[in-house]
Amino acid sequence: MGMMATGGDPLVTPGFRFYPTEEELLSFYLRHRLAGTRADVERFIPVVDIYRYHPRDLQAMAGAANVSDTEQWFFFCPRTEREVHGGRPVRTTPSGYWKATGSPSGVVSSSADRVLGEKRTMVFYEGRAPTGTKTPWKMNEYKAVADAAVPGPVADAVNSAPIKLRNEFSVCRVYKSNGTLRSFDRRPLNPAGHNQAAVHHQQQQLYYHRR
């Protein structure tokens, strides 16, 4: 269940689980947090500076809809002071650091015609860089494009100027890898009838062309 229910309290509904898609994270939750148009989104995804904590401490800070989940937790993370002044983000914590793995990828709409944002995957290391010890903790960090979405076909965006991202807040999914394919990863990102493999290919092509 991704979008907020309009009737009753979804948090007390039997079988409820907070399970937003990547598109919902970007086009609903993060968009409203950036615009300040839905204060209640913080009930579901709170603002937490996750770089101040060890990832094992974050579950207790999760939103009301997510705090009892044993697999994954979502947070709005404000940009660091260094980013405010135009520097690179600092992803160190008192006990370790988050290290990006692979290249960033684009997130497009379910119809594959709009670029919604950028996704980075990171792994948590305990100790000091670069000799820290890798842990099973992982994070997906999502940032929204400067507009609600980049209009027009993805193919056009590939050839356009680099996409500008909103950096005031990112939305992060923190989870602990257990070496198996997780239910979040298996969940289709698009409605039935869309070719998800083709969408993933377009996402990768978009970012390979931009870099």
- Domain-wise residue ranges, the chain: 18-179+192-210
Can you list the residues of the chain whose pLDDT is less than 50? 1-7, 155, 157-159, 181, 186-211
Q: What are the helix (H) ranges across 25-162?
A: 31-35, 41-44, 81-84, 154-158
Amino acid 164: pLDDT: 87
Amino acid 191: pLDDT: 44
Average pLDDT, the chain: 78
Q: State how far the Cα of 209 lies from the Cα of 13, in Å rounded to an integer.
A: 45
User: What are the tens digits of pLDDT across the range 55-79?
Assistant: 999 999 999 888 888 889 999 999 8
Buried/exposed code over 89-127 (b: 16+ C-beta within 10 A; e: otherwise): bebebeebbbeeeeebbbbbbbebbbbbbbbbebbbbee
Amino acid 204: pLDDT: 45
Amino acid 100: pLDDT: 93
CATH class of this structure's domain 18-179+192-210: mainly beta
Q: What is the pTM of this model?
A: 0.76
